[in-house]
A and B are shown apart, each in its own frame.
Chain A
Amino acid sequence: MAILKLDKVTKKFGGLVAVNNVSLELEQGQLAGLIGPNGAGKTTIFNVITGVYRPDSGKVYFMGIDITKKKPHEIAALGIARTFQNIKLFHRMSVLDNVRVACHFRLKASVFSAVLDLPKYAREEREMTKESLDLLEAVGLKQLANESAGSLPYGYQRKLEIARALATRPKILLLDEPAAGMNPEETAELMRFIKRIRDEFGLTILLIEHDMKVVMGICEKITVLDHGCVIAEGSPKEIQNNPEVIKAYLGSGVYARS
């Protein structure tokens, strides 16, 4: 059974159909790519999956549960984590605190035991801190744990966002253009990193990318979106040779006219 399933999802903004009747399935452990030109509706699909937007029609299932109407924080707690295209860190908080926030929803101790620092809370706090530091180590930011998140260089901010997402102990990780603004070497390194965390944490990953070449190397399955519609789906090989995709990518302009 698919771990994540979008069933004929449509999302409109006023007259604009940002996502049009999209169906999509992710298998457990898959590293899948979602590509498409600017404004194709990729981010909107993430926002629908994570509950930021309610689709106008269609449903989203996660491990067989209908999550269409759930709130973002409930969906995060179920096991879907994400990063943002335009990085959304907690800028004024430390790197470590950014990650610890994402552990917070698992906290069982009450407000009062937190304020009084009762043993129950103290133990959970220690566990959260340890887990967060481990995650920071995994992404190579441990030595910056006490820096303020807003002061990190761009590439580190991207990694911090991933570490933060991992701290929710997700089953699915949604990455929105993680390589944006990186040079080819950095991108290649990041892709290796993504593959590594997939294996290390047993994740299922859906990756949005602008640049088709980037995802070709690592994704097992690719879905191509254009104007809100799925225009192709398949292995990187199949996608590469699909004329529809080439047309969408080269811009209906240039080739059609000449």
Chain B
Amino acid sequence: MYKQPSFWLTLIALVVFFAFISYAQNNFDAYVIRIMNVAAIYVILGVSLNLINGFTGQFSLGHAGFMAIGAYASALLYMSPELKAMNFFIKPLIWPLNRIQIPFFPALLIGGLLAAGAGFLVGAPCMRVKGDYLAIVTYGFSEIIRVLFNNLQSVTNGPLGLKGLPTYTNLWWSWGWAVFTVFFIKRLIDSSYGRALKAIRDNEEAAEAMGVNLFYHKTLAFVVGAFFAGIAGGLLGSLVMTIDPNAFNIMLTFQIVLIVLLGGLGSITGTVISGVLIAVLMEWLRIVETPMKIFGITIPGISGMRMLIFSIILMISVLFFRHGILGDREFSWQGVISFFKRRQSNRGG
């Protein structure tokens, strides 16, 4: 079945990549590993948002909400009962959540599935609501999740959040999920289902007239996108060890939107590149928030500068690089092969 050279090339690339990951996990210092973990989570987030916004053309701002659901649901499942009791000192956690503890992987999956359920609920109205309105509804949804999580004290511990989460997330988990996300979504958009999604993006009326069930496919995009956002939320929670509802605010969604815009709406390759780039850049920009000494002059760190620079990049990319790094082009082995062939023939000629 898989006899094409691209299959083997991909396989080799994956083996090399995961060999690198396992080397990195054991040898790199914690700081670098952390950035690499964040990069993987950004890749998951960017690619899954691109499925909804870039490939299906449904402008969603709900990703932070889906992440919050995934982060909380998984944390409440993989935390130990003692840890939960320690966290919920104001109002006890409701039964049966206060008793159960399950391993990380199924907890992540359940978090993802719950987020997918929310994705269905949000995706359903998008039959009636389009464009800017959809952006508002999804934005509202993610704010409402935040409001709910701030208020449902006996489930989420309210604004206090959950602290001291065990750190299960490592490079294997994060990059494993990132690779799976890319694989799943790439295969999805290249399949007949993906063509239906892109048709909806290009012309909804025509797609429907050609027999594409709009409701099914739009909710499909939302459900899949929300699932991976939920997974990313779960991974993030266990990476940063502390979650609170207000961490999942609209700023977080904007960051993901920037990843997608920078990578190119409709390009998975571009999103992967920009996800990694933004993770590194955000880390690197911490410099501007810490005091510096240049030529003996101390420059005080300005808190919030990082996000300001970030939002300026967002505006510049929106205004001047509307197609992002790659527009809607994708990496392919054929492309690489023909690129090298061309170079060779150039050199020969």
Contacts and interface: CB of A to CB of B under 8 A. Distances in A.
Interface of A: 50, 52, 71-73, 76-77, 81-82, 84, 88-93, 97-98, 100-107, 111, 114-117, 119, 121-122, 124-125, 128, 164-165, 167-168
Contacts of A72: 205, 208-209
15 contacts: A72-B205, A76-B211, A90-B198, A90-B199, A92-B202, A100-B195, A101-B195, A101-B199, A101-B212, A102-B210, A104-B196, A105-B211, A114-B193, A117-B187, A167-B210
A189 B211 CA distance: 29
B185 to A, nearest CB: 9
The 8 closest A-B pairs by CB, nearest first: A105-B211, A90-B202, A76-B211, A114-B191, A88-B206, A102-B210, A72-B208, A101-B199
Q: Which of A93, A115, A167: most chain B CB closer than 10 A?
A: A115
Contacts of A119: 1
Contact of A107 (B192, B201, B206): B192
Given A88-B203, A115-B187, A168 B210 contact: yes
Contacts of B193: 104, 107, 111, 114
A101 B210 contact: yes
Nearest to B202: A90
B221 to A, nearest CB: 11
Contacts of A50: 209
Contact of A125 (B192, B208, B211): B192
A82 B209 contact: yes
A104 B206 contact: no
B207 interface: yes
B188 interface: yes
Contacts of A111: 188, 191, 193, 220
Given A81-B210, A104-B195, 12 more contacts: A73-B211, A82-B209, A84-B206, A93-B199, A100-B192, A101-B207, A105-B212, A107-B193, A111-B220, A115-B187, A124-B192, A168-B211
Contacts of A114: 187-188, 191-193
For chain B, what secondary structure do more than half of its interface residues adopt (helix, strand, loop), or is it mixed?
helix
A109 B198 CA distance: 19
Nearest to B214: A73
Which of B193, B202, B206, B266 has the largest number of chain A CB atoms within 10 A?
A: B206
Contacts of A91: 202-203
Nearest to A119: B1
Nearest to A122: B1
Contacts of A77: 211
A81 B191 CA distance: 23
Contact of A164 (B1, B184, B210, B266): B210
A133 to B, nearest CB: 15
Interface in B202-240: 202-203, 205-214, 220
Contacts of A115: 184, 187-188, 191
B283 interface: no
B211 A104 contact: yes
A121 B1 CA distance: 12
B212 A104 contact: yes
A92 B210 contact: no
A93 B206 contact: no
Nearest to A107: B192
A187 to B, nearest CB: 23
Nearest to B328: A92
A89 B209 CA distance: 11
B181 to A, nearest CB: 12
A125 B191 CA distance: 8
B195 A52 contact: no
Contacts of B198: 90, 92-93, 97
B39 to A, nearest CB: 24
Nearest to B187: A115
Interface in B14-39: none
Nearest to B216: A73
B330 to A, nearest CB: 13
B31 to A, nearest CB: 36
